[in-house]
Amino acid sequence: MADKKNQHFVPKFLMRHFSPDVEEKTIGMFNIRKGKTLDCPVGLSGQCQKPYFYGQDLVMENILSEFEGTISALFKAIIQGRRAPAYGTRAHFDLLTFIALQASRTEARSVHTNEMADKVARAMMERTAPELLAYIDRLGFRIGMESAPAYNVRMGMMLSPILIDLNIKLLASPVGTAFLLSDNPVLEFNSHFRESNSPFTHGMSSIGLQIALPINPGLCLVMYDSSVYKLGKNKEPTVAITAQDVRQLNIAFYLNALNNMYFKTEVGAAECRSIHARYAGLRLDSTVLFETSPIDGSPNQLLRFGQRHPRFCPSLPSAFTARKGVRVRQPGPRDPVWAKLVGEFSEEIDAGKRMWGDFPEFAQQRGWKFDRDGQMT
């Protein structure tokens, strides 16, 4: 058990792509709280991990470790071929699952989940058990989930099919620039609704969703709603972008990070220092959106909660263009019918009737299939 005590929330195989040494045992690091890079590369194994992060029973750790072996080989193939896997293949489903898992499994997500639990519980206790809440406050306790990381991973597994309609391509950085990695590396953004204050623009089922994950300093994987955006030519698997757009993405990666940024060379180190000096003030102290409001004619209150996002959204003009004729005015789900199907699948997992990898069979049994263009119909 001791050899699995240190459990990573960003897999080592991904961090190795940002390692400066041949043996891939170190990585450059910028600590956001201190506002500086370390004098030399740090040991890669000690990054993005915590003791028994997913639990001492090792159940979730073993599941993730086995899956990462498959994904590591897939990422090598993506980098070498400079293209995402074909739509509808096993590799395509594995990639969707990995993205959803990586978005949900980090320390940043765990902090968010526990803070949300604390705020919701306190709001309820203020009305139902104020004396108990006062006692908890005197002790200085916080309210949270017993195993938020394992819960978040499970939710990521169940919700990963919601991404199946998104297109996937790679962005290539120009010479002299580099994508940055962080300890919370999956970035969700929505340039179509960049001026919206709605909390429903960044969910995995949202219209106009864009997702970015740097996979090495020269390549960034992107997923996007192709009904809203066009990215490069139709059959172009990798799209070259400008230095300005690399900069926009790196700013967003920095604002999305919890504690640390990672890089391979001095180009990345300089980028971290420059971004921190200019954009540190945009970082959020809390990502939790939580509001209460009275209900007319009722002693109860309406709770509204979700996730807050920094007031910075990359537009990436050298990459994304709006599709002609798109006039989506209100945030909402891309496909309510598909979202409902994923919800039903999640219920069957909860009931012990399905495993998380059963979704393709589950969807086909309910009449969904791939058409000639590789889309679910």
Tens of pLDDT along 222-240? 999 999 999 998 889 999 9
pLDDT of 375 reads 53
Determine the average pLDDT of the residues in 86-101. 92
For residues 312 and 257, is the Cβ–Cβ distance under 8 A? no
Strands (E), the chain: 6-8, 26-31, 36-37, 42-43, 49-51, 167-172, 181-182, 187-189, 210-216, 219-224, 229-231, 238-240, 260-263, 288-294, 301-307, 320-322
Does the residue 364 lie in any domain? Answer: no
Q: In the chain, count of helices (H) and strands (E)? A: 10, 16
Residues 6+ apart with CB under 8 A from 301: 123, 127, 292, 293, 294, 295
Write the CA distances from 249 to 146, 200, 220, 245, 282, integer angstroms. 34, 21, 9, 6, 15
The answer to whether residue 365 is domain-embedded is no
Residue 324 falls inside a structural domain:
yes
Q: What average pLDDT score do residues 266-295 get?
A: 89
Residue 339 lies in a domain: yes
Question: 376: which DSSP letter?
Answer: B
Q: Which of 63-72, 74-83, 186-195, 352-361 has the lowest mean pLDDT?
A: 352-361
Q: What one-letter code names the amino acid at 265?
A: T
Confidence of residue 373 (pLDDT cuts 50, 70, 90): very low
Domain of residue 239, residue span? 2-354
What does the pLDDT read at residue 315? 87
Residue 320 predicted with pLDDT over 70 = yes
Residue listed under structure tokens 């891309």? 334
User: Is residue 70 in a domain?
Assistant: yes
Nearest to 160, CA basis, from 234, 48, 71? 71
Is residue 17 domain-resident?
yes
Residue 339 pLDDT greater than 70, yes or no? yes
Residue located via tokens 């798109």: 326
273 pLDDT above the threshold of 90? yes
At 9 the pLDDT is 96
Give the closest residue to 209 by CA, choosing from 201, 198, 220. Answer: 201
How is residue 39 written in tokens?
């004098």
Question: Given this model, what pLDDT does residue 368 score?
Answer: 79
CA distance linking residue 287 with residue 108, whole number of Å? 9
What pLDDT score was predicted for residue 170?
98
Per-residue model confidence (pLDDT) at position 54: 93
> What does the mean pLDDT of the chain come to?
89
Q: Does residue 372 have a pLDDT over 70? A: no
CB count within 10 Å of CB 286 equals: 12
Torsion angles phi and psi, residue 93, rounded to 5: -65, -40
Contact by Cβ (8 Å): 254, 182: yes
Confidence class for position 171, pLDDT limits 50, 70, 90: very high
User: What sign does the CA torsion over 345, 346, 350, 355 have?
Assistant: positive
Phi-psi region of 93 (alpha: psi -120 to 50; beta: other; left: phi over 0): alpha
pLDDT of res. 322? 84
Give yes or no for residue 374 having a pLDDT over 50: no
Is pLDDT at 305 greater than 80 in this prediction?
no
- What are the tokens at 137? 């406050």
In a domain, 203, yes or no: yes
Q: Report the C-alpha gap between 112 and 107 in whole angstroms.
A: 9
Using the predicted structure, report yes or no on whether residue 185 has a pLDDT greater than 90: yes
* Residue 5 DSSP symbol: S
**Between these two residues, 43 and 304, which has the higher pLDDT value?**
43
State how far the Cα of 180 lies from the Cα of 265, in Å rounded to an integer. 10
pLDDT for 376 beyond 60: no
Strands across the sheet with 238-240, in order?
187-189, 210-216, 219-224, 167-172, 238-240
Identify whether 97 is part of a domain.
yes
Q: What is the mean pLDDT of residues 22-28?
A: 94
Q: Virtual CA dihedral for 357, 363, 369, 375, nearest 10 degrees?
A: -70
Mean pLDDT across the stretch 201-211?
89
Mean pLDDT of 115-135: 86
Give CA–CA dist 358/374, Å, rounded.
19
What is the arithmetic mean of pLDDT over 297-312? Answer: 75
CB 106, CB 9: distance < 8 Å: yes
Residue 377: band (very low, low, confident or very high) from pLDDT cuts 50, 70, 90? low
Domains: count for the chain: 1
Give the whole-angstrom CA distance, residue 180 versus residue 218. 9
Determine the length of the chain: 377
